[in-house]
Amino acid sequence: MVDRLAGYGGSLVRAGLGPRDAAVAVDFVADLVFSSSVAMRGLDRTVPDAAGGSLTARESHRRAWARESAGRHPFEAEFTAEETWHGRGWFDDKLAIFLDGLATRIAPGSAGQGNG
């Protein structure tokens, strides 16, 4: 794993990021992978419901969003979308936003120079 992460970091430096930015980027993605995995697995645990039964944390959260936010703001519908609660959840979207932001630290024409 260390060899793979070092390879990713080296690629980022060659693309124009400074060494610190490259190291933080690699660490950020690793943290995102681990935290997303833990969060998605945690949705499978059972929690008590109001009627004295139980349901998954996933269903509890989905019901709360559907009940409490009934469309007051357009973004709230995303919390009730099926893909939000299964598989990788929002991992790909979070990674894309991060990479877009990271790209702003690469100055035009700096690839291979290691600036930033």
pLDDT, tens digit, for every residue of 9-50? 999 999 999 999 999 999 999 999 999 999 999 999 999 988
Determine the pLDDT at residue 33.
Answer: 94
**How distant, in Å, are the alpha carbons of 24, 70, 116 from that of 8?**
11, 42, 16
Q: Which of 10-14, 32-36, 69-73, 89-93 has the lowest mean pLDDT?
A: 69-73
Would you give the DSSP letter of residue 18?
Answer: -
Short-list 36, 38, 57, CA closest to 46: 57
The answer to whether the beta carbons of residues 29 and 114 sit under 8 Å apart is no
Backbone dihedral angles phi then psi of residue 46, each to the nearest 5 degrees: -95, 145
Identify which has the larger pLDDT, 61 or 92.
92
Q: Is the pLDDT of residue 112 over 80?
A: no
Average pLDDT, the chain: 86
